[in-house]
Amino acid sequence: MTTTQIDNVSVTTAANVYFDGKCVSHGITFADGTKKSVGVILPSTLTFNTGAPEIMECVAGSCDYKLAGTDAWITSGAGQTFSVPGNTQFEIRVTEGFDAYHYVCHFG
């Protein structure tokens, strides 16, 4: 099920802007201290480093992703997720001419 709304959270109003504006996100914190981010990636190919493990949930658009140590690009579209281990990196590719990749990043 795709997340369409997140209630009862604190939102960091200053955006996190990465890669010259190709990725923009906002941090959210739940009452229990759980943190997530919500954002958008515009057409580009970007490499992200992780600290904690992440689950990337696509809420609109699509992307191709490639985990560290693999050669295969895998497509993730609306309603799909992919997991990234902690302390590694992954690449995301959003193809020009397609909708931006809208996501919720679940840390944990």
What's the predicted TM-score (pTM) here? 0.93
User: Which residues on neighbouring strands pair with residue 39, listed in sequence order?
Assistant: 25, 103
pLDDT at 89: 96
Please tell me what DSSP assigns to residue 63. Answer: E
CATH architecture of 9-107: Sandwich (2.60)
Closest CA to 65 of 50, 51, 52, 46: 46
pLDDT at 97: 79
- What is the mean predicted confidence (pLDDT) over 55-71? 96
| Cα dihedral sign, 36-98-76-86 | negative
